[in-house]
Structure 1
Amino acid sequence: MPNADEVHIARTSVLRKLIAFALKEPVLAILVVVLVALQCTRPQPWPTLPRLVDWPTVMTLAGLLMLTKAIERSGLLMWLAHRVVHHVRSERALACLLIGLAVVLSMLVTNDVALFVVVPLVLSLHALTALPVKRLTIFLALAVNAGSILTPLGNPQNLFLWQVGGASFGAFVWALAPLCAVLTALLYALAWFAFKARPLDLSGDAAKEPVDRAYAGVAAVLFVAFVLLADSHHAGIGLAGVAGGFLLWRRDAVLKIDWALLLIFVLMFIVLRSVAALPWVHETVGHLGLHTPLRAYVAGAVLSQGISNVPAAIMLAEFTKDWRALAYGVSVGGFGIAIGSLANLIAVRLSKERGVWLPFHLVSIPFWLVAGVLGGWLLLNR
């Protein structure tokens, strides 16, 4: 039998591990706590909770995570990034190029994967010549939020709204293209004044990034096939093929994905749909009149500032079927307060820069206000 000291040490160790986990994955920890609280105050049978999850969305996200991980580990993205910046001559040109790279990548391989390419690239270039890393980090966070608006692949909230809205891939892109174009143009206009035209010498960037061509090629082909299957509402078949193939050939594409993100997404469905079903919540949100596009848009843009745009999309989808207005709202909601989009938190975390939050909000909050006006005008006039 363990003595009292051993029991105390064991409990302390468990507590420390739980605290460390909560600090590492705060969103996941909060969702678990809220779920436990809901089950204590308004219990539901545990076997019924999985029914609240939109599994086609989760399967689509899982497949995309595997495919983007394969492309990332092939070395193709970093090789491309170094090739793109090789002939840059000024700080302003570098900023504009990196913003463009972040925008394009976020359209194709999700906003967080885009950040995992461009932010480390900035840090590696900073080793060659002095760069305004804080400022670049801020603009790259805004860039992936702007670029990811365009496609269902760009971010989790788009993926969810694409699945529940029933629109085709092309129809979704066509609907979101004006907002993406306007906000990207606004970001470039701001960057023109934020970065100087001082000369840079990056000729010493001779990084030889190895590319596994077979890995990259297979991932690219499977990426197109998977998107086509997801577009035809067969994400489960696509996921089975992608996961099975990579487990047999390159299992790192499956084992190294962000499993915590998938669990967070599952818990978001359960928690937020349970919260939305609470009588007082349902009555309060119901009184907002989200049946009109403008109100749904404003609700998405504002609620994202408090709970982030992915949870906002999931929760508000219970009260409005206007996926386009909601997509506009939560897309704009990714700007403003940092919590509006998890990409903002990822960008700052990757940069490892201190004292970035104040300058971030000095840029992002005014950007959110202007974007809110422009987004509302586009929504009502197109």
Structure 2
Amino acid sequence: MNKIILTLLMMLSAFTSYSQEQKDRILYIVDNIPVVDTPKEDEQPVENDIDKLEIVTDFEKIKSLGYEGKIDKIIIITTKAYSARPDDVKGIPSSKMMTKTNGLCYYKNAAQPYSGKFIDYFFNGKVQGDGVLKNGKIEGIRTVYYPNGNKRYFYTYSDGIENGQSEEYFINGKLKQKGSFVNKKEEGLWQVFYSTGKLKRESNFIANKQILSKDEKKFYELFSKGASFMKEGDYFSAIKKFDDALKINMSYADVYFYRGTSKLNTFDFDQSIADFDQAIILEPLYMEAISNRAFARLRKYEFKDAKTLSKSREITIMAAKDVVPIPKEDLDKICADLKLGYELGDRKPMVIDAMKRYCK
């Protein structure tokens, strides 16, 4: 049953799904909520999450549910978490069942904007977020959670606008960032942390202006210029700017990540790995650095003895080999990084493809 549920949900690409192998128009309803977006893998219900599964093909029942002429089949999933909720909690609507018109939320096309509490859920029945709407706008604290149940962030709102304290968290529950807004603008002290608990940076905002020291201004100017060069594909110029930035601040993980990525694009794989190592030492949950480190190790073997197709001052094009033999020690490191990157949320096709090819 586990595989059946996952297959059914993964088929979905929109509110209605058309299969290439069949003409049925299928609608999925999970805990009374029509599914609009394809759920991520860690949000999908598995066998232990499911209380009931009903497949509706009867025309009259489809008509009674309000989908006459639109749907050929409805798959209704009820999670155990939903079944266990008290009736008063079940009665609290989800924002996913609301429409937004002129910036205001309406529940089931009601004449007046919605006022009251709302709770959103993942497709496995776990709480995704909650808050309060007043006359169709967010009011008070809006909280969002990770699939593992840990708090992801909360923001404080007034009349739908960020006003007050906010905090963001890493997936392990550690504080990531905190600060306050006044009319959607940062105000006062803002602090950003690594998942280790170490302070990454802090800034003061006064009258919508960020107050920085001379060294801080120079650091961020160099970092920004390096990022611009990198975006333009001028990786050697980018590396020089990142080198200069690190002379000012050697404890900023993002600089190592960006420089490592630039070196990866210049085929300097060993130095690229060294930069990703440093970024991950500073931030152990740095998803992008973890994934890129895997590819730096992987490309080191895929491009070993590779043929150069063309070369200029700005760019070198080489022909990579397909699946290549990799020593077990490095292959274990590659697969460990790919797996961790995936678990942290990196679901890019290249990550999934590499896992399939090398990490069976």
Query: Normalized against structure 2, the TM-score is what?
Result: 0.22
Greater Rg over alpha carbons, structure = 2
Higher strand share: 2
Query: Normalized against structure 1, the TM-score is what?
Result: 0.21
* Structure with larger RCO (C-alpha < 8 A, sep 6+): 1
